[in-house]
Amino acid sequence: MSAMRRVLVLGVALAAAAAPALASVEATPGVPALVTGGGTHVTLKGATKLTLNCDLRNYSTFTPAAGSAVIVNGYLSPSLLGVTNFADLTISKPGVVSLDNNAAVNGVLTLSNGRLSLAGHDLSANLIVGGSAASYVMTPDTLGRLVRTVGNASAVFFPVGHSAYNPVSVRTGSGTDVFRIAVLDAPPATGMTPSSALPRAWAVSHANAPGANGDVRWSVQWNGGESPVGFDRSIGGANSAWAWRWTGTTWTPMANVRRTDNGLYPAVDTLVSALPGLWTLGGLGSLLSAGGEASPRALELAPAWPNPFRGATNLRYGLPSKSRVTIGVYSVLGERVATLVDGEQEAGWHMARLEAGRLANGVYFLRVQAGAEVRSSKLVVMR
């Protein structure tokens, strides 16, 4: 039996070391599966199509020849276990197919119908055909991501989402890099007000050091039902949404990262940054204290951003109670050059904006007074 070769009706050529190790189709607690036993060598010959409406549980050596394909269809919710390399893989079924280990598609990943859930495992894909709200790579967490090589010639598409389809397209500034992308449905709330931030975040990581490939340009897609009240998708306005990056403890607004918006639904926004991380979109009014409290215990003044700045900088300050507030900007000679706030304000976190306007290049001082408390910081105008 050691030299015996058998062919399944599915067109799989099996070279087995012993007869009991050959493939079989079994139902274990009501779950149908194609199981290949240990000690078996499974080869999918070129042009072979292995079509499944059940789990694939591989405990053998699985070798897919170029041109072969695994096609998952039907109406169940199968899982793919033990296959680390596919030549071609096609998802063509309603519902969800689960990937139960890290894997690579060396040929073509075709997304025709249904979702392919990574469930904590990476999937590397060379070429992808399809990708839509009806069929995409599902990332239930940021541990498992879609992995693709990206260059600067043209944008590379990542058809990802979780409960909804929120794909990403990526292009480097120079050279090539390997990117890992996932979508998170429930980004951390610390530092943001959900009423003016998207309930989506995109996890972006890459192999090279930040900046090694210049500024990376990526486009993120979000849908009409995901846009909350108070979210301003305009570009460059006082209340326009910004790109925000998660620091591990709170969200930080990143100046000049969000560049364009298509003005349509599905919405497509372009972001430009060399930094990896977890990113989302939200208005400047989305800020809370770092601990997520509605108001601080004493007067607080957060660092201005951006600083140094060219056109404008944004200021965040927190009041422990209702107070009369005065915010002034002073030159190094002590001359007041701007008054940003002068009046009574409620307790909580507030925003102010300083336009550089006719201010000359140089150092200025910001002074915030609320009742008897005073805070100050340094600002730098640099054109």
Residue 340 has pLDDT above 90, yes or no: yes
Phi, psi (deg, nearest 5) at residue 20: -65, -15
Residues 201 and 269 in one domain: yes
Do 115 and 192 lie in one domain? The reply is yes
pLDDT at 90: 97
Count CB atoms within 10 A of the CB of residue 287: 24
* 44 shares its domain with 188: yes
Last residue of a domain, one of 260, 286, 312: 286
The answer, yes or no, to whether residue 302 has pLDDT greater than 60, is yes
φ/ψ (deg, to 5) at 196: -130, 20
Amino acid identity of 133? A
148 and 245 in one domain?
Answer: yes
Residue 209: inside a domain: yes
Residues 273 and 330 in one domain: no
Asked whether residue 243 is assigned to any structural domain, the reply reads: yes
Distances (CA, A) of 67 to 11, 15, 45, 64, 222: 13, 19, 8, 8, 35
129 and 171: one domain? yes
Look at residue 69 and tell me if it is in a domain: yes
| pLDDT at residue 81 is higher than 90 | yes
Domain total of the chain: 2
Is the confidence at residue 236, as pLDDT, over 70? Answer: yes
φ/ψ (deg, to 5) at 225: -70, -10
Is the residue at 293 inside a domain? no
Q: Which residues pair with 57 in a beta bridge?
A: 35, 81
| DSSP classification of residue 359 | P
Residue 357: CB partners within 8 Å, gap ≥ 6?
none
Q: Do residue 184 and residue 121 come from a single domain? A: yes
- Domain-embedded: residue 28: yes
Answer with the one of 286, 313, 329 that is the final residue of a domain.
286
End-to-end CA distance of the chain: 80
Residues 280 and 335 in one domain: no
Q: Residue 102 is part of which domain span? A: 5-286
Same domain, 352 and 212: no
Lowest mean pLDDT among 89-103, 109-123, 187-201: 187-201
Kindly list the distances between the CA atom of residue 50 and the CA atoms of 47, 66, 104, 288, in Å, as whole numbers in the listed order. Answer: 10, 13, 17, 53
Is pLDDT above 80 for 231? yes
Q: Which residue has the tokens 């990056």?
A: 245
- Lowest-confidence segment of 21-30, 254-263, 368-377 by average pLDDT: 21-30
Closest by CA to 15, choosing from 32, 24, 27, 3, is: 3
Domain contains 304 = yes
Assess whether 39 and 104 both reside in one domain.
yes
Q: Which of 251, 286, 321 is the last residue of a domain?
A: 286
Q: In this prediction, what percent of the chain has a pLDDT beyond 70? A: 87
**Cα-flanking dihedrals φ and ψ of residue 355, to 5°?**
-85, 130
Residue 356 pLDDT greater than 80, yes or no: yes
Mean pLDDT across the chain, nearest whole number? Answer: 86
Q: How confident is the model at residue 229 (pLDDT cuts 50, 70, 90)?
A: confident
Nearest to 276 by CA among 259, 254, 296: 254
Gyration radius (Cα) of the chain, Å: 27
**pTM, two decimal places:** 0.73
Alpha carbons 83 and 87: distance in angstroms, whole number? 11
| pLDDT mean over 274-281 | 93
Query: What CATH number should be reported for the domain holding residue 308?
Result: 2.60.40.1930
Is the per-residue pLDDT at 307 higher than 90?
A: no
**Same domain, yes or no: 225 and 359:** no
- Domain presence at residue 85: yes
pLDDT at 10 over 70: no
Q: Given pLDDT bands bounded at 50, 70 and 90, which one contains residue 283?
A: confident
Cβ-count burial 130-155 (b if 16+ within 10 Å, e if not) = bbeeebbbbbbebebbbbbebebeeb
Residue 375 falls within a domain, yes or no?
yes
Q: What is the mean pLDDT of residues 163-181?
A: 97
Does residue 336 share a domain with residue 190? no
**Is the C-alpha dihedral spanning 93, 179, 219, 140 positive or negative?**
positive
Whole-number pLDDT of residue 113 = 95
